[in-house]
Amino acid sequence: MLPGTTFPDTEVYLNHVLTGERILLLGMKYTDAKTGRVYMQDTAGWMLPTGKGTVFYFMMGHRAEDFQNAAYRRLLSNAVEYSK
């Protein structure tokens, strides 16, 4: 079992298809409440060095409540620190 955190009721984008290389940072596991089907993918967070900077993408953050999650705030803070 890997460490993780939970984001209740946040938006989930399934089946991301990335074009080009990305450095994968985190994955996600989602259980559909209606069907009970479990989805897992490794593209919930990634980074892409480009030109003079770095692009970070994180699936979470569509709801204000997502930012109350201490693990998510740490993840965002780490991304900012990495970019300095």
Domain boundaries, the chain: 23-83
- The residue type found at 11 is E
Q: Pull the structure tokens for residue 44.
A: 């919930």
Chain segment 12-54, per-residue pLDDT in tens: 888 778 888 999 999 998 898 899 999 999 889 999 999 989 9
d(CA 55, CA 72): 17
Q: Output the six-digit token pair for 59.
A: 């699936």
Q: Which pTM was predicted?
A: 0.82
pLDDT score, position 38 = 93
Predicted confidence band of residue 74 (pLDDT cuts 50, 70, 90)? very high
At 68, the amino acid letter reads Q
Mean predicted lDDT score pLDDT of the chain: 89
What whole-number percentage of the chain has pLDDT above 90?
49
